[in-house]
Amino acid sequence: MFKLPKKIVGALIVVAAFPAAASSLPQTKVHNIVLVHSALVDGSSWKGVYDQLTKDGFKVSIVAHTQTSLAEDVAATKRVLDQQDGPAVLVGASYGGSIITQAGDHPNVKSLVYVAAMQPDVGESLVDLSSKIPPISTHLLPDAHGFLSLDPKVFHADFAADIPKAQADFLAAGQMPLAVAAASAKTTVAAWHDKPSYAVLATEDQLIDPKLQRYMYTRGNDKITEVKASHGVFLSQPTRVAKVIEKAAAGL
């Protein structure tokens, strides 16, 4: 009769005797990261964060949304989530927070990360939240067609005062205005009620008051990381932002 080597028999006995210990071994961290960009800028604004995450071995996808309709932007995000080969961390900056709040109910989403972002509850819009605690800046204004943008002259000071002015001027020249209709759309799903959430609170933010950020992130029971940075914290401190995302991926 075939006999197992004594070392293997011993190992099997240990596992059988301590099933709880075996089941509590650390789980493999999430490998996929999906990034949803802020209002006024496009997906290239994640370049620094992307570079750090890919350097650290993550597979990163970036959603290209239009900021014309919350429903359409959520749909665009879910299409990217459909393409993932397993669980993903879903990350949103600014208006992107409204998008991930709804798209986060996708089965591939393991956790959420809000980066100086809106985190609405069901029945709330970006406009509703800004009415509770208005932004410090008063320069985000609609044009005749119903799209919100910043005067290029104040873009550096209001959006990302902590990056070089030349870089801010370039971003200002290529602004992607946010539709008032998208900012006014009511959230129908709030995935943060059911999934772990993390937040980067930008203490120098001029477009989403830090007090509003704290209100939303505390309400959502997020794991909060405070960073002394502007609204464009993902531009000025990409490594800090990437490390928060990596904590979410590891479930820390």
State pLDDT tens for residues 182-223.
Answer: 999 999 999 999 999 999 999 999 999 999 999 999 999 999
Q: Report the pLDDT value the prediction gives residue 33, as an integer from 0 to 100.
A: 98
- Contact at 8 Å (CB) between 35 and 48? no
Q: Report the pLDDT value the prediction gives residue 203, as an integer from 0 to 100.
A: 98
Band of residue 29 on the pLDDT scale cut at 50, 70, 90: confident
Three-state SS for 153?
Answer: helix
Residue 137 has pLDDT above 70, yes or no: yes
Domains of the chain, CATH where assigned: 28-250 (3.40.50.1820)
227: enclosing H helix or E strand: strand 223-227
pLDDT in tens, 82-130: 999 999 999 999 999 999 999 999 999 999 999 999 999 999 999 999 9
The CA-atom distances, in angstroms, between 166 and each of 7, 115, 156, 239 are 65, 23, 9, 21
What average pLDDT does range 167-189 have in this prediction?
97
What's the one-letter identity of residue 234? F
